[in-house]
Amino acid sequence: MPSMIKILLLTLLVSWLPAVQASTDKTPPPAPIIQVDTHDGSRIYARPHHNNVAITPWISRTSWAIPWSAIQEIKQSKDKHSMTTSLTNGDLLSGQWTHPILKVDTSFGSLRIPTNKITRIRITKRKKCTNIALGKPVSGQDGASHGRGLAKHLTDGDYQTHAKPPASNFDYTIDLGKDANDGYSVQHIKIYWGRFGDQFNGIRAPNGKGWASAAWPGEYVTSYQIHYRTSGSDDWILCHSASCRPVDEDKKNICVERIPTDIPGCSSESITTINGLDLTGVTGVRIRANGGHWIGLHELEIWGTP
Q: Measuring CA to CA, which residue among 119, 38, 113 is closest to residue 73?
A: 119
184 vs 306: CA distance, rounded Å: 5
Dihedral (CA of 12, 13, 18, 22) sign: positive
Identify the structural domains of the chain with CATH numbers, from first to last: 34-123 (no CATH), 130-305 (2.60.120.260)
Query: Residue 11 has what pLDDT?
Result: 43
Task: Record the pTM.
Answer: 0.58
Specify the pLDDT at position 125.
Answer: 63
Cα–Cα distances in Å, from 190 out to 64, 110, 131, 222, 249?
A: 38, 17, 9, 18, 14
Pairing of strands 52-57, 64-67: antiparallel
CA-CA distances (angstroms) from residue 166 to 3, 15, 103? Answer: 94, 76, 45
List the pLDDT tens digit at each of the 306 positions of the chain: 455 544 444 344 334 434 433 334 455 566 788 888 888 877 787 889 888 999 999 888 889 999 998 999 999 987 778 899 999 888 898 999 999 999 998 755 688 899 999 999 988 765 578 999 999 999 998 876 545 789 999 999 998 899 999 889 999 999 998 765 578 999 999 999 988 888 776 665 666 555 555 545 567 899 999 999 998 888 999 999 999 989 889 888 898 888 877 766 777 888 999 988 889 899 999 999 999 788 899 999 999 987
pLDDT at position 298 is 94
